[in-house]
Structure 1
Amino acid sequence: MIKAFRLIFQKARNPANFSKLFLRALGIIRLEGLNGIRIRLAATQETAILGYQQWINLHENLDLGSEAFIKLKIDCLNCPPLMSVLMPTCDSNIAWLKEAIHSVQKQLYPYWELCIADDASSNPEVKSLLHECSQKDSRIKVTYCQDQLGISGATNTALGMANGQWIVLLDHDDIISKDALYHIAMAADANQSLSLIYSDEDRIDPDGVRSGPYFKGGWNPDLFYSQNFISHLGAYKKDLVDKIGGFRVGFEGSQDYDLALRCIEILESNQIYHIPRVLYHWRSHEKSFSCQHSAISKNAAVKALNDHLSRRAINAHAVAVNAGYRVIYELPLDKPLVTLIIPTHNRIDLLQRAVSSILEKTTYLNYELIIIDHRSDEADSLAYFNQISSIENIRVMRVDEPFNFSKFNNQAVNVSNGSIVGLLNNDIEVISPDWLNEMVSLAIQDGVGAVGARLWYPDDTLQHGGVILGYGPSRIAGHIHGMSRENQGYFGRAELIQNFSAVTAACLLVKKSVYLAVGGLDENLPVDYNDVDFCLRLIKLGYRNIWTPYAELYHYEHGTRGKPLNSQKSSQLILDMNYMRHRWGDYLIKDPLYSTNLNLDVAFRLASPPTTPGANKCTEYE
């Protein structure tokens, strides 16, 4: 932070720069308060000095005291589970294989066995090393396949040797952290109902340098249909894996994805648990199976996903996309009627663009449009309302009372004819003609609450890529924003269907029955955060909210009401913020779908320290 201040001071010594900096700072304070200045200083500091290696040094250092405490915690377990680490090998790189085996032997958690199935390696050094390791350590069990069985077959052979209550998957050229099995065991002991546990992961190059950490969130079923984020480190109850028949031959390269898809079919969400720690280091090299056979791996993943959809009788199919996979849900032949609701006040230029884009571009035809006119008094607006009222599927509903976005939408929903309702701002413009097909196809799925779209600013930078709780200056919630169209986002997530805690009501679809069941928008939130509150209440009732990048619209944000700059609007914003904090409390501090290791000021940047105290401490299972 000192370096950041020094840099600003040096720039400010130039009179020309000083006036620019002063005006910019004044604008930031006016809109965001002093916290906005702090955020930008923190971002400057992080960009300048905080790399991943430094983050590792700060947050992953296990000193003697920490290791002693971990061992004490292990000793306090009444019935420590045996962990069976499964490792198929085949003509492995000797140095990397040694590191992989050694990473298991270094575990602080002592109750493990390493089950190695060598898949008919032609290199005698591999068999010699495996024999030597098994002779020196009785916990290492090795079997030698006479014929090559492939990854799935070899892993099943290793599974057949396993005696543990849990199995842990480790590739022959990768590494697990020395506390990996400890965290798996402690999570399993703390919650006996768990059957599937996964952790964060990163990459390690041939020289042992770590990079590319993937800090994941809690269980995100729709993101899992878009990418295998369970991947590494994955741990499964052995009886669960036995029940589904182990690994399936024919899915090599994505055999673990196929395994996990079959597991989640018989699990409840609360049986799946995420450990927010990097416990697995994935060796990145050009001779890995995923690099040499990327097309085979991706095809196997699509096949596994389509098999899963078929078994679950979901009327959909999966395809490969650049960032992962996409599940395309089929619409019924009798498409449901959708009621699109747009509140507006004058600014006919905005409304006309929004309505025209819907009428001219939308390929989904079974919809009606309700325009909520709030005290418009401009002649052009009134004339436009008369004009569009003559269109068969459009009606104008006039309201004459103080502005309340929540109340207006609730009133419109009550008189809507559609079985699905869509909330829209008047400052949107349709980009993708199939936007409504996509959103309806998701909204009608079982267990789905609100569905949100990918919204762009007119300059083609992202305006809305989902809402993160605790994000931004308010520490209530904020949009993922600012990325260009060329940016795929954090591990491709800007281009993948996934779950978020909330989506924006600038473009939101939901079943009318679900809208009414949750009580609609809270009219105590007339301006801000009513959509976030609505989405959180949906989650509380057991629904999941979905964001899709395949429904795209422009959002000319703040076109109607403007940003909350005057005292009246600022006072209302403060009231709305306080209402949210009182209702949701600590839930706003930690978004279950966003990692505690990621920043709450700049999305998907490393947080230092982690956003939840103790997130990287060994005391979390107390």
Structure 2
Amino acid sequence: MLSKILKPVALKRLAYRLAKKLIIVPHHELEPVPEGNRGSSWLSSGEDPQFIIHPARRVPTRSFSKGWYLLRIKINEANHQSHVGKLYSNLQQGELVSIDVPWHSTKFVNRLFYLESANAMLRFDPCEAETEFTINTFMISKVPSFIAMRHMKQRLYKLLNHVDNIEEYLAANCKLNGGRLIDTVYKEYNNTFTHGAMEKSYPFWVEFDEPRAIERMKQAFTANQSQVKFSIILPTYNTDPVYLKACIDSVVQQTHKNWELCIADDASTDSQTIEVLKAYEQQYSNINVKLLNENGHISKASNEALGLVANDYVLLLDHDDTLPAHTLSFFAKAITENASAQVLYADEDKIDEQGNRHQPHFKPDWNPDLLLSQNYICHPVVYKASLLKKIGGFRVGVEGSQDHDLLLRATANLSREEVVHLPFILYHWRVIENSTASNASAKSYTTDAGIESIKHYLSQSKQSASVEKGKYPNTYKVNWSLPTEQPLVSLVIPTRDGYDILKQCLESIYDKTTYDNFEIIVVDNQTTCEKTLGLFNEYSEAKMNFSVLKWDKPFNYSAINNFAVSQASGEVVGLINNDIEVISEHWLTEMVSHALRPEIGCVGAKLYYPNDTIQHAGVVLGIGGVAGHSHKYFHKSEPGYFTRLHLVQNMSAVTAACLLVRKSVFEEVGGLNEEDLTIAFNDVDFCLKVHTAGYRNLFTPWAELYHHESISRGEEDTPEKIARFNKESEYMKEKWKKLLSNDTAYNPNLSNTHENFSLR
């Protein structure tokens, strides 16, 4: 029955790339695109393309057994359009059961579904259109029912805005239908897809959202911002005249008119490039061109352009990129509103050879640790001219990473207030074949230049650290040195019973941790299990660095940890859940190396669910009203938003399931709030107190652990728990209203309902 099946070897490679535990076979109206992405690109020849999905042979049952599953996909579609796919089950029973799977090109989609019985195969119809698409991710993971319930409720909390109390709404529907709560939740969850709830596409954002934002900004323009003077520096070399004209025209067409364009041509051998430059210089009095006699490469040419600068603020522009017409107006407004600003930057997107905009990069506010991991700022940047003069302009010898090097040196001694981010797309980065914009690995030397730039920065700022390549091109890992004498780290683990998970937690810490100087303080909250009490005795006798504190009061997470930290001897304290399991042996070394940095407050780890999907990669404020976990349910192998799943970065908050902080900082901010936040959000509240005290919180992906979440405490599923949760949620919204509405480590253009960095 299968038509157009790939050769077995090619199929095996495709199956491994798409999902290690799935075999996916093209079934109907699908043809592989020749030379296309190693076989994962497909052309739909009709309006009913289909894939048949089998479990891999190494799955013992060779079938999808009854139960809950999470489908995770990412598909790139040639026209960047939205589609509604369908996943079918019961193929062999003859009564097809389908669920809708809305998706948009380049965006990750998570879709939970339930199989009533075992299925030897499933069918996925990605769209109902003739189109070309590439499957980047296709995974189906079986999940326990409590994870399924949590996932569904999270979506309902975010999308059912018309319901005042969702828990009461679900309970009432459950009673009305006479069914189980989870069945009612699943029905409501499915309705959010059936009704066409899809992530917003970037073309839609460009057409509808961006114009409204621009108009709002224009209405706020003031007369004094017209006095801000810009010098735009533009190094050129054998630039295609078509792109060079588009670049210069984008400057000429600026709505802000107080500018000069300083061009340094790096001895171009293409006469057409020179002719274009001379024509523009002759036509416009505020365009100055300097033709260099010898090719000195990008840094030297940029410095020559800087030598032409006569104004107070300098914007960098690459020779084939373009600026939106409002770019200088927006920067001028920001300069007049931020008197101390020394460096300003904005968001950007990419523009192809046909002028189509795609792949927007909506960036966080000033994020020093992310800048050490990756040049996340890139374009556009405006510098105060006096600052560039002070640091000597571009540094020769780091070509390929000269912009990153300049940013590191320029911001080395600046405060948070002196680096200003504008959350608007103010730059279009041209994508040309073999360009860095098109493919970061197209210029492999840029990563080496980046390492040299970071080494120079660390040396000049007298930091005791080294740097190595990160997991992806143009990403880096800075290794911060520990003192010769390792400081004592006190790991606090509250528990009540929970023999199996606590035993697993303790064994993994002792067996897999290479950092030597730590102590474990288990806080016993009314344990009655004899096996668990025996475990306490076993470790107390066997380990000199193990102790048990008694907490014979009702469970109060904040109070328990405050009590334990007061008894801890370590310079650094770690708040650790009893359902944590160590993966990477250097996890504690990595976290301590950051926690000891004077400017750093809380340090969080990368936590996975048992199925290797993300449970925690930093906390994003405002999602779902209070906070959500960055990239939740992404697979551990996925890069995340602009590779952020694999980069050390500053976050507003991290989870206390695995959190390290200096004891002095913990005490400085008064620890956890044991009066108002006994169970939920106390870690977020604590992190925000640390943040407002002037420290930078940080997430590191190089400390990896499993988090068997909620095994010990269960769900928030009783009226009492729900009432307490709502009360604590309201407390957070009232206390941290300003921060929750605009997370500085996130971006206001990104979703406040989803955790996958989709558009708001």
Using the size of structure 2 for normalisation, the TM-score is 0.74
1:571 aligned residue: 723
Change (3 A) 1:289 1:471: closer
Q: Which amino acid aligns with 2:711?
A: G
In structure 1, which of residues 22, 28, 50 is the aligned counterpart of residue 200 of structure 2?
Answer: 50
Q: Is the 8 A contact 1:30 1:565 kept in 2?
A: no
Cα 1:30/1:55, change in 2 over 3 Å: closer
Whether the 8 Å CA contact 2:606–2:617 is kept in 1: the answer is yes
Matches of 2:346 and 2:155 in 1, distance apart? Answer: 37
* Residue of 703, 706, 721 corresponding to 1:554: 706
Query: Structure 1 CA distance, aligned partners of 2:545 and 2:271?
Result: 75
1:319 to 443, 468, 488: 468
Render the CA deviation track for 1:447-467: whole Å, top value 9, x for unaligned. 110000000000000000110
Q: Which residue of 2 aligns with 1:620?
A: none
- Distance in structure 2 (CA, Å) of the matches to 1:16 and 1:296: 52
Are 1:35 and 2:186 an aligned pair? no
Report the counterpart of residue 617 of structure 1 in structure 2: none
Deviation at 1:46, TM superposition (A): 7.8
Q: How does 1:247-326 map to 2 (within 5 A)?
A: 247-288=394-435, 294-323=443-472, 324-326=475-477
- 2:398 & 2:98 partners in 1: Cα distance? 60
In the TM superposition, 1:289-368 aligns within 5 A as 294-323=443-472, 324-368=475-519
Query: Aligned residue for 1:529?
Result: 681
Per the alignment, residue 667 of structure 2 pairs with 516
* Letter aligned with residue 60 of structure 1: E
* 1:500 aligned residue: 651
Deviations 1:110-144 (A, max 9, x none): 01111110110001111111111111111111010
Return the letter of the residue paired with 1:446.
P
Contact 1:4 1:44 in 2 (8 A): no
Deviations, residues 596-621 of structure 1 (Å, cap 9, x unaligned): 0001122344434xxxxxxxxxxxxx
1:161 aligned partner, one-letter code: L
For residues 199 and 531 of structure 2, what CA distance do their matches in structure 1 show? 55
Residue 493 of structure 1, CA deviation:
0.0
Kindly tell me: are residues 415 and 49 of structure 1, through their superposed partners in 2, closer, same or farther at Cα, counting changes over 3 Å? closer
Contact 1:71/1:109, CA 8 A, preserved across alignment: no
Q: Provide Cα deviations, 1:198-223, integer angstroms capped at 9, x if missing partner.
A: 01011111111111100001111111
SS at structure 2 position matched to 1:332? coil
Give distance in 1, aligned partners of 2:586 and 2:577.
19
Contact 2:621–2:742 (Cα < 8 Å) also in 1: yes
Cα distance, 1:20–1:226 mapped onto 2, change above 3 Å: closer
> Which sections of structure 1, spanning at least 5 residues, go unmatched?
9-13, 609-622
Structure 1 match to 2:570? 418
Kindly state the Cα deviation for residue 71 of structure 1 after the two structures are TM-superposed: 9.1
Residues 295-341 of structure 1: per-residue CA shift (max 9 Å, x gap): 21111111010110111111101111123111111111100000000
Q: Distance in 2 between matches of 1:512 and 1:102?
A: 57
User: For the structure 1 residues 30 and 114, does the alpha-carbon distance in structure 2 shift closer, same or farther, using more than 3 Å as the test?
Assistant: closer
2:701 counterpart SS class = strand
Contact kept? 1:248, 1:255, Cα under 8 Å: yes
Change (3 A) 1:230 1:46: farther
**Counterpart residue number, 1:461:** 613
Following superposition, the deviation at residue 356 of structure 1 comes to: 0.4
Residues 559-617 of structure 1 show CA distances to partners (whole Å, capped at 9, x for unaligned) of: 11111111222222122112212322232121111110001122344434xxxxxxxxx
The aligned counterpart of 2:296 is 149
What amino acid is the match of 1:531?
Answer: D
Alpha-carbon distance, 1:48 to partner: 5.0
CA distance in 2, matches of 1:237, 1:479: 36
Alignment of 1:19-168 (within 5 A): 31-32=153-154, 34-36=156-158, 38=160, 48=198, 50-61=200-211, 66=215, 70=218, 73=221, 76-77=223-224, 80-168=227-315
Question: Which secondary structure does the structure 2 equivalent of 1:161 belong to?
Answer: coil
Q: Distance in 1 between matches of 2:436 and 2:578?
A: 50
Q: Once superposed, what is the RMSD of the aligned Cα atoms?
A: 2.8
1:586 maps to 738
CA distance in 1, matches of 2:289, 2:756: 41
Query: Per the alignment, in what secondary structure is the counterpart of residue 301 of structure 1?
Result: helix
- The question of whether the paired residues in 2 share the 8 Å contact of 1:70 and 1:108 is answered with no
Greater alpha carbon shift after TM alignment, 364-373 vs 577-586? 577-586
Residues 237 and 4 (structure 1), Cα distance of their counterparts in 2 relative to 1, 3 Å cut: closer
Q: Say whether 1:408 aligns with 2:560.
A: yes
Following superposition, the deviation at residue 108 of structure 1 comes to 0.5
SS of the equivalent of 2:739 reads: helix
CA–CA separation in structure 1 for the residues paired with 2:394 and 2:347? 23
Paired letter, 1:261: L
Distance in 2 separating the partners of 1:203 and 1:42:
32
Distance 2:354 2:204 in 1: 18
Cα distance in 2, alignment partners of residues 467 and 98 from structure 1: 44
Alpha-carbon distance in structure 1 between the residues aligned to 2:756 and 2:322: 24
Aligned equivalents of 1:353, 1:293: Cα separation in 2:
45
Map of 1:364-443 to 2, 5 A cutoff? Answer: 364-390=515-541, 391-443=543-595
Segment drifting more, 501-510 vs 295-304: 295-304
Cα gap change, 1:42/1:285 in structure 2, threshold over 3 Å: closer, same or farther? farther
Letter in 2 for 1:222: D
Runs (4 or more) in structure 1 with deviation over 4 Å come to: 14-24, 26-34, 39-49, 289-293
The CA distance in 2 between the partners of 1:140 and 1:4, in whole Å, is 47
- For the Cα contact (< 8 Å) 2:231–2:310, is it kept in 1? yes
Paired position in structure 2 for 1:615: none
How many angstroms apart in 2 are the aligned matches of 1:177 and 1:347?
A: 58
Structure 2 CA distance for aligned equivalents of residues 580 and 226 of structure 1: 31
Q: Distance in 2 between matches of 1:247 and 1:29?
A: 49
Amino acid at match of 2:531: D
For the structure 1 residues 38 and 232, does the alpha-carbon distance in structure 2 shift closer, same or farther, using more than 3 Å as the test? same
433-442 or 322-331: which moved more? 322-331
2:604 counterpart residue number: 452
Retained in 1: the 8 A contact 2:202–2:759? no
- 1:409-463 Cα offsets, whole Å, 9 max, x none, are 1111111111100000000100000000000000001211000000000000000
| 2:322 maps to 1:170 | no
Deviation, 1:79, is 6.3
Which residue identity is paired with 1:51?
A: S
Alpha carbons of structure 1 residues 44 and 494: separation in structure 2 relative to 1, 3 Å: farther
The 3 A distance-change label for structure 1 pair 212 and 440 is same
The answer to whether the Cα contact below 8 Å between 2:199 and 2:759 also exists between their aligned partners in 1 is no
Matches of 2:230 and 2:196 in 1, distance apart?
38
Are the structure 2 counterparts of residues 49 and 564 from structure 1 closer, same or farther at C-alpha, using a change threshold of 3 Å?
closer
* In structure 2, C-alpha distance between the alignment counterparts of 1:202 and 1:43, rounded to whole Å: 29
Q: State how far apart, in whole Å, the 2-side matches of 1:107 and 1:42 are.
A: 43
State whether residues 29 and 36 of structure 1, in contact with CA within 8 Å, keep that contact through their aligned partners in structure 2.
no
**2:330 matched to 1:183?**
yes
CA deviation after TM superposition for structure 1 residue 289, in Å: 6.2
Unaligned runs of 5+ in 2: 1-81, 88-94, 100-112, 117-144, 162-188
The one-letter code matched in structure 2 to 1:301 is G
Structure of higher RCO (CA pairs closer than 8 Å, 6+ residues apart): 1
